[in-house]
Amino acid sequence: MRTLTVDASSFVSKHEMHEALRAVLGQEYYWGSNLDALHDCLTMVFEPTTLVIKNWSAAVRNLGDYANRLWHVLDDSAEENPCFSAVIE
């Protein structure tokens, strides 16, 4: 199992959030900078992978409702793809 960790304190804008997630997921997981495309990407993870997002409160503070929408995308992706899970800390 692969565990990927990203620090949400770098999520100072939607653009920065997508860039940070893209960096931790790697080049093979490219998506347009929107949540629908991220969902598509995460449902195509084919090896057991857990994405750990540290400092979640910073994402909520910086992104507001967009952080909640991100969490729903991560949760929905995990429900659809048994190879993917997400944890917020």
Per-residue pLDDT tens digits for 33-86: 899 999 999 999 999 999 999 999 999 999 999 999 999 999 999 999 999 999
Q: Is 80 exceeded by the pLDDT of residue 28? A: no
pLDDT of the residue at 32: 80
pTM: 0.92
Kindly state which CATH superfamily the domain 2-88 is placed in: Barstar-like (3.30.370.10)
Burial letters 59-85, b for 16+ CB under 10 A, else e: bbebbeebbeebbebbeebbeebebbb
Closest CA to 81 of 22, 40, 23, 52: 40
Q: Is 70 exceeded by the pLDDT of residue 22? A: yes
Grade residue 27 by pLDDT with cuts at 50, 70 and 90.
low
Other C-beta atoms lying within 10 Å of the C-beta of residue 13 = 12
Q: For 25, what's the count of Cα atoms within 13 Å in the CB-facing half-sphere?
A: 23
Phi/psi for 62 (5° steps) reads -85, -30
Domain ranges of the chain: 2-88
Is pLDDT larger for residue 26 or for residue 39?
39
